[in-house]
Amino acid sequence: MITRRISAFPNFEKLNLSAVIVGMNVNAEDMERAVNFLKGMHQVKFLWKTYGTHDVVCAIICDKGDVGTCIYNLREALEKLDIKVMDFDTSASISWEKIDVTPY
């Protein structure tokens, strides 16, 4: 069987967008509500439940000048939903680079 797959990755730098990686530890009783909320956010592009440093990790895309506002709005929305977040760590991108992951 031969298959062909095409993937397009926009140049986020030219689109003036930033990615914000958010890692959080959520109260176990709130986990499903938190995940369902994050799934419904249009800015969330990737979402993982993990067993590492954080319970939940997501990547959100926002305008480069609105990174702080995006983070603030996410924290506020979780608080309004009464989702208890113990740790909330963020990392915002400065630039994007496509890396060739083809084996040597």
What pLDDT is stored for residue 95 in this prediction?
Answer: 58
Global pTM value? 0.75
Residue 101 is assigned to a structural domain of this protein:
no
Is residue 38 exposed (0-12), middle (13-18) or buried (19+ Cβ within 10 Å)? buried
Q: Residue 82 — left, alpha, or beta (φ > 0 → left; ψ -120 to 50 → alpha)?
A: left
* Closest by CA position to 39, among listed 24, 29, 49: 49
In the chain, the amino acid numbered 15 is L
CATH number at residue 55: 3.30.70.920
What pLDDT is stored for residue 48 in this prediction?
Answer: 95
Residue 40 is assigned to a structural domain of this protein:
yes
Residue 41 is assigned to a structural domain of this protein:
yes
For the stretch 40-96, pLDDT in tens is 999 999 999 998 899 999 999 988 888 899 999 999 999 999 999 999 998 876 555
How many structural domains comprise the chain? 1
For the stretch 1-45, pLDDT in tens is 666 665 555 566 667 788 889 999 999 999 999 999 999 999 999
What pLDDT is stored for residue 7 in this prediction?
Answer: 55
In the chain, the amino acid numbered 69 is T
What pLDDT is stored for residue 15 in this prediction?
Answer: 73
Separation in Å, CA 91 to CA 24, 28, 57, 67: 12, 24, 11, 10
Beta bridge partners of 22: 58, 90
